[in-house]
Amino acid sequence: MKQKFAFPPASREDMAQRGIEQLDFIFVSGDAYVDHPSFGAAIITRLLESRGYSVGIIAQPDWHTAKAFQTLGKPRLAFLVSSGNIDSMVNHYAVSGAHRDTDAYTPNGEAGKRPDRATIVYANRCREAYNGVPLIIGGIEASLRRFAHYDYWDERVRHSILYDACADILVYGMGERAIVQIADALNKGTSVNEILDIPGTCVRVANAQNAKDAILLPSYNDVAKDKKKYCEAFIAQTREQDAIRGKRLLQPHEKGMLLCNIPAKPLSAAELDEVYALPFTRKIHPSTQGHVPALDEVSFSITSARGCFGNCNFCALTFHQGRVVTGRSHESILKEADTLTRDPAFKGYIHDVGGPTANFRHPACAKQLKSGVCADKQCAGYVACKNLDTSEEDYVSLLRQLRELPRVKKVFVRSGVRYDYSMLDRDDTFLRELIEHHVSGQLKVAPEHVSDRVLKYMNKPPHAVYERFVQKFEAINKNLGMKQYLVPYLISSHPGSTLQDAIELALYLKKTGHRPEQVQDFYPTPGTASTCMYFTGLDPFTMQPVYVAKTREEKAMQRALLQCHVRKNWPLIRKALRAADREDLIGTGKGCLVPPDHLSPEAARPAPNKRQQTGAGRQTRKDNRSGAKSASRRTGGGPRSRHR
C-alpha cells in the first residue's frame, strides 16, 4: 500500500521516501511554504497533486547562484515561479522608499530572504539551472505586471514581466483553471510554444498574425513616451477584464508581441468548495526553520468568497480576481469551521469569515453570470448601479450557523465591510447582527477621505453616505445597550488630493476625535486606475487633468496632517498650513490643528477628549496596504486579499 505523506517534497530525501525519481513540477516561491489555503503556492500545489502530478517545493531559495534551484533536480514538465503572496517590491519597501524591517511571509519575520523583483530573479535562475525547461510564472506580482506598466520604484514604464522574466507563459488572476490546462497540455507532449490560447494566460507571439481576433493596444514604446496612450491602453485592459464578453489583447513590445488571452472563468461555488476541500495540513512545512507570522492572521479564519465588485480605483483586486463574486457553499464553510474547532490550539474564536469584501457573497446582479460584467459601468463606487443586488441575507444566515457550532464562542468579521453596500440594503438585520455578535469593540471601515472630489477619483461613495452610516451604527449600538467604535481607514495624497483636501480631512479627524496611530500614504502599485492617474496626471476615464502630489515633501505633508496629535509632525504641518494659506489653523484655539512654533510642548499638549481616552477611532492598519491587502494579492486568495 502506498504511504501517504502530509506535505509535498522539499528535498531529494523527501522524493526518495515517496518513490519519486523526477518531479513533474517544481514550484519556486518567494514565501516560506505554508500549507494553508490562504497561500497561493499551497493551493496550486495541492490542486496539481489532486490531478495526479508530483510537485516539489523550493521556498525562498538563495538566488545568488543557480545551485539552490537544482536541489530537486530537473522537473519533467515545468518550473512554476511566484514571488509570493505580495509583490516583492511592496513587500520590501514602504511608499516613502524606506526598507521594511520585517517580512511576515518569512520564518520569524526576517527581512531580506527574497530578492527585489523576485519573479524575474527566480525565473532567470531557473533558466540557468536547467535551460530548456518550460517556465510558468504567476501570482500577484506577475498578474499585475502582465502588460507594459508604470513602476513606482523605477519611476518609469517597464515591459511586461513576461519579457523581463523570459518566461514561456504568464498565468494571471486566480490560477486554478489555467494551471491544470497547462499541465495537461504539457503532459500530453504539447510544446510550451504551442500553448497560446488558454484563458487566464499571457504568452509571447512573433507577430499579429498569431492573434487576428485580438484588440491591438498601444505599444510599449507608445505608452512609455505618451501618457495619453498609456491611459488608452489601461482603459482597454480594464474594459476587457471579463471572462464572458472580454476580448484578447495584443501589445507590441520591443522583442515581439504580448498576447493576453481573455480571463479564466471564475470557479463556480462547487468548484471553489472542491479547492478548499483539498488536504491542506494548515501548517508550516517541516523544512521551514521558525514560525511564519503571516499564518497567525489566517490560522482560524475562513475565506467565504472570491472576487469584488467594489471597484475602488486604488485597489488591484479587480485586475486580479475580477468583479464577479463567487461564494462558497454554507456546507463547505461549516465543514472547514468544524475542522478549525478541533485544532488543539483553537480557543473558541473564529477570527474572520470573509474575503476581499466580507459582505459580498454573490454576484452584483444576475446579468453578470450570463452576459459578463458591464464594460463601462460600475457596480458600486461613487454611485451604485440601480441593478445592484444588495441583499445580505445569505451572509447573515451563514454567520448564524457558525455561531451555533459547538466549541465556538465568537465569530469575528475582520475583513473589510462595505458600509455603503449595507446602507443600500433595506433590511438592517446584517448590520444589527454584525454589531451585536461579530465586533469586538471596534469595527474597521474604509471611508478613505472626506472630500467628495477626492472620493470620486477613488471611486468611493460621497462622504455623506459615511456620515449616515456612522449615525446608524451609533443608533444601533445605543439600542442594543452597547458601546462600540468605528475605526476609519484613510488615504493621504491620493491623486486629486491637494493640501486643502488634506487639511479638510485633518479638521474632520479633530472634530470627530479620531487620532490615527498609523496612516496610509497612497502607494502606486501596478494595475490600478489610481496608479494610472499618478503616473499620467490624467483621469483615464475622462482624460481630464488630475492634480497629483508627487514630491516627497508634499506627500509627507499630507500624511502628517492626518496625525496632528503627533508632536514630531508639527513643524511639517505648520509648513503645510502656511503653504496652503491656512495660518489661521496654527495656534492654541479650539479650531487650530497645531500650536505656534514658540509654544512649549507642555503648554501645547491638548487635553485628550473622552473618545480618545477610550481608544475610540484608534487606527492600527499597517503601512503596506496596497493592495495589497489586496491582496487578491495571491494566486490562491484568502480572507483578506486586497492588494492596495
Chain segment 33-56, per-residue pLDDT in tens: 999 999 999 999 999 999 999 999
Looking at the fold, whether 184 and 58 belong to one and the same domain comes out as: yes
Residue 422 lies inside a defined structural domain of this protein: yes
Sign of CA dihedral 514, 516, 522, 526: negative
Looking at the fold, whether 542 and 402 belong to one and the same domain comes out as: yes
Residue 138 lies inside a defined structural domain of this protein: yes
Looking at the fold, whether 185 and 316 belong to one and the same domain comes out as: no
Question: With bands split at pLDDT 50, 70 and 90, how would you rate the model's confidence at 314?
Answer: very high
Query: What pLDDT score does 278 carry?
Result: 97
Question: With bands split at pLDDT 50, 70 and 90, how would you rate the model's confidence at 109?
Answer: very high
Q: Does pLDDT of 643 surpass 60?
A: no
Q: Number of structural domains, the chain?
A: 2
Residue 353 lies inside a defined structural domain of this protein: yes
Question: With bands split at pLDDT 50, 70 and 90, how would you rate the model's confidence at 243?
Answer: very high
Query: What pLDDT score does 629 carry?
Result: 36
Q: Does pLDDT of 639 surpass 50?
A: no
Chain segment 469-507, per-residue pLDDT in tens: 999 999 999 999 999 999 999 999 999 999 999 999 999
Looking at the fold, whether 380 and 519 belong to one and the same domain comes out as: yes
Q: What is the average per-residue pLDDT within 282-295?
A: 94
Chain segment 52-68, per-residue pLDDT in tens: 999 999 999 999 999 99
Q: What is the average per-residue pLDDT within 63-90?
A: 97
Report whether 320 contacts 173 (CB < 8 A).
Answer: yes
Looking at the fold, whether 161 and 307 belong to one and the same domain comes out as: no
Chain segment 262-279, per-residue pLDDT in tens: 999 999 999 999 999 999
Residue 249 lies inside a defined structural domain of this protein: no
Residue 369 lies inside a defined structural domain of this protein: yes
Share of the chain above pLDDT 70, in %: 92
Among residues 407, 424, 209, 171, the alpha carbon closest in space to that of 300 is found at: 407
Among residues 516, 520, 502, 507, the alpha carbon closest in space to that of 612 is found at: 516
**161, 195, 229: which is the final residue of a domain?**
195
pTM attached to this predicted model: 0.91
Q: Does pLDDT of 619 surpass 80?
A: no
Residue 425 lies inside a defined structural domain of this protein: yes
Instruction: Characterize 6-21 residue by residue with b for buried, 16 or more Cβ atoms within 10 angstroms of its Cβ, and e for exposed.
Output: ebbbbeeebbeebebe
Q: Alpha helix (H) ranges present in 304-392?
A: 317-320, 330-341, 367-371
- Angle between the N-to-C axes of helices 40-50 and 176-187, in degrees from 0 to 180, rounded to the nearest 10: 40
Q: Does pLDDT of 609 surpass 80?
A: no
What CATH number is associated with residue 58?
3.40.50.2300
Looking at the fold, whether 47 and 172 belong to one and the same domain comes out as: yes
Q: Does pLDDT of 630 surpass 80?
A: no
Question: With bands split at pLDDT 50, 70 and 90, how would you rate the model's confidence at 571?
Answer: very high
Residue 101 lies inside a defined structural domain of this protein: yes
Supply the DSSP symbol for 93.
B
Residue 131 lies inside a defined structural domain of this protein: yes
Backbone phi and psi for residue 594, each to the nearest 5 degrees, phi listed first: -140, 155
Apex 272 CA angle, 269 and 274, nearest 5: 115
Range of the domain at 52: 12-195
The pLDDT mean for the chain works out to 91
Looking at the fold, whether 26 and 166 belong to one and the same domain comes out as: yes
Give the helix/strand (H/E) hosting 171.
strand 169-171
What CATH number is associated with residue 392?
3.80.30.20
Query: What pLDDT score does 603 carry?
Result: 52
Q: Locate 637 and state its grid cell.
A: 486568495
